[in-house]
Every structure is written in C-alpha cells, then in structure tokens.
Amino acid sequence: MRAPIIGAAFGAFMVLSPLVMGGHVYLLIFSLGGLIIVVGGVITVAFMSFEPAEVHKALDAIQNLFKKAPPAPDYLKNDVTAIIYCARLVMEKGMRDLESVIEKIGIRDPFIRYGLTMVVSEYSPEEVRGMMETAADACYERDSVPVEILQAMTSHAPAFGMVGTLVGMVAMLCNLTDDIAGIGPSLAVAFLSTLYGVLSARVVYIPAASRLRQIVARRRFRNYLITEGMVMLVSKKTPMYVQDRLNSFLRPEAYDYFKITNVKTTATAKNMATAA
C-alpha cells in the first residue's frame, strides 16, 4: 500500500547502517548545513531554470510519491462506455439530440468536452482527428515539463553535494589547529553533503520522475482513445463497430461484449460528467 515509503526507508537503512553500527548516529543529525546546500541549491536552480508553476507541480509529484494513492478508477472502460452510448444516441436520434444531452450533463473533463464540441460542430473526420491529435500532443508536452524538472534535479543534486563537501572542507581548513582529533568528525560532516546529494537523486528525484512519467503516458494514451472515439462519432459508425474498435485499446480481460452496449443511460451520463 505504501511501497515508495517502504522502499525509501529500506534504502536509507542499507546505506546508513554502517554509521548506525559504528555508533556515529549523531553525524546524521548535525549536518544541517549540508542539507541546506543540497536541497536549497537544487530547488533554487529549478526555479531559475523553469516556470514557477511547473516547479510547483514537480514538487507536488515528490510529495505525492510518499502519500497513499487512492485506488484509480477504470477510466478507460468508463470512456469506452460513454463513447458507445454517444454512438447509440447519434445513430438513433442524430447530432442535435447528442448536443442537447451534452449541455444537460455538463461535462467537466476538458479533453472530452473539446472532442464532443468538435463532433457537434460537424467537422469532417480528418479535421477532428487532426485537431484532437494536436490537442493530445500539446497536452502531453505540457505535462512532461515537470518530468524534465525532476530529471534536472536528479543531475543537480550530486553536484550540490560536492559543493557542500567543498564548502565543509574549506571551513575545516580555515579552522585547522594543532588538534588533529577534531579533523575526523569535521571531515565526516563535510562528506555527508555528497551522501545527501546522491541519496536524494536516487531515492527521491528519480522515483518521482518515473512515477510522474507513467501518469503522463497513461493520460496521453487515454487522450488517443478519446480521439479515436470522437472520430468514429463524426463518421457515424455503429455502436458495435465503435465497441470493437475501442476494445483494442483495453486489456483483453476488460472486453465486455454483451453488457457494454446495453449500459443504462443514467450511468453513462454520470461517467461522462465525472471523468477527469
């Protein structure tokens, strides 16, 4: 249920266990300067390189990595069901009736709303496909920016770890005295900055980027499914043809040949209205 937290805790334990066994746990507490240099430096460079709104999305992805994710509904099957219902409506009552149903439902999903607007505007199938694929690609490009930010943070974190180490060593040399015994602990604290940089890159930024990349890829796949469905609505394909064509986007075990075309209007309208 909380795999990211368990994985991060296990990784931190494996890396830090030599220090714990050696009795130097206090070194992990008194390295606040290293944390400030690494974390603060990475975030500062991110805000200098990208738009603040996109950086906030990347930071939210890091926060969501350690949260318990709610179970995701089967959006693809709901979308297929809603598009098949629209195909039935177009075949039985025409585009005008579909337009009135859309206005009555009040669809919140922007991509579905845009697609249905193209359908009722009586564009040709080629025009609808071109406009919706452009919208899907543009949405993918925008959603990929936070992933690029997290990847940049991955490369910056070890570099700032080295900066923290150099700063710590310079501070140690400036305060160097005849007391040789104080060099060891000071040098250990200085090198913790490198440890923080490598750990944050491998345990935080890379997993967050991978998780967000999967979410963005699933969203693009869903947008292509909706695009294909809208093109078939404009082409006035039969509900059975729409079902068979859209089933190719689903997992084979999700195919439902006998129930999906008999879906109730109320349930389908609810799916269309609450899709996100």
Residue 265 has pLDDT above 60, yes or no: no
Distances (CA, A) of 109 to 32, 115, 116, 129, 180: 45, 10, 11, 18, 67
Quote the tokens at residue 186. 């000071």
Whose CA is closest to 88, among 240, 228, 224?
Answer: 240
Q: What is the pLDDT of residue 19?
A: 52
* CA pseudo-torsion sign 75, 77, 83, 85: negative
Of residues 247 and 252, the one with the higher pLDDT is 247
Average pLDDT of the chain is 79
% of the chain with per-residue pLDDT over 90: 33
Report pTM.
0.76
Length of the chain: 276
Q: What is the pLDDT of residue 266?
A: 44
> Cα(74)–Cα(150) distance, rounded to whole angstroms?
28
Summarised one tens digit per residue, pLDDT across range 100-145 is: 777 777 677 889 889 888 888 888 999 999 999 999 999 999 999 9
Q: What is the pLDDT of residue 276?
A: 41
pLDDT range class, residue 70, cuts 50, 70, 90? low
Residue 251 has pLDDT above 60, yes or no: yes
> Cα(186)–Cα(263) distance, rounded to whole angstroms?
70
Q: In terms of C-beta density within 10 A (0-12 exposed, 13-18 middle, 19 or more buried), how is residue 184 classed?
A: exposed
Residue 18 has pLDDT above 60, yes or no: no
